Amino acid sequence: MSVTQDIVARLWNLCNILKDDGVTYHQYVTELTYLLFLKMMKETDREKLLPEKYRWDRLMAINAEDRLEGYRTMLIQLGNSSHLLIREIFANATTFIKHPKNLTTLMSNIDQLDWFEAKKEGLGDLYEGLLEKN
């Protein structure tokens, strides 16, 4: 199994966490898109495009009980970004996650994946693999 396939399988398994929140497949892919974008901005050294308070590590640093509210605020603020690409990606962004522990579990699992190897194989393949799961 390639690194990309392994990461896709792990991310897909995280979908089960959100089923208890009533999150649909489409909503899950949307949630993953936002979270993966934030994580990839960090992993590819492009975080400077984001305000410092709306970066992956800042979100991870918020205590677990407040993280979901911080994430909601982050999505709204990034949707109003002065940077066109960031604004377009997060336009009308919202989260369907209802329980802070589920966001924390998603983020912790995303944070533990081997992104260095995934970058070598191609991040586009990762997203394509998730879409193929439907």
pTM of this prediction exceeds 0.85: no
Instruction: Identify the residue whose tokens are 């919202």.
Output: 94
Integer CA distances (angstroms), 53 to 22, 47, 59, 74, 103, in order: 29, 11, 8, 8, 18
Say what the pLDDT of residue 65 is: 94
Q: Say what the pLDDT of residue 54 is.
A: 97
Tell me how far CA of residue 99 lies from CA of 10, 75, 96, 106, 119, in angstroms: 21, 16, 9, 11, 30
Domains and CATH numbers, the chain: 3-132 (1.20.1260.30)
- C-alpha 52/C-alpha 123 separation (Å) is 24
* Per-10-residue mean pLDDT, the chain, length 134: 72 80 85 89 90 96 96 98 95 94 93 67 62 66
Task: Output the pLDDT for position 123.
Answer: 57
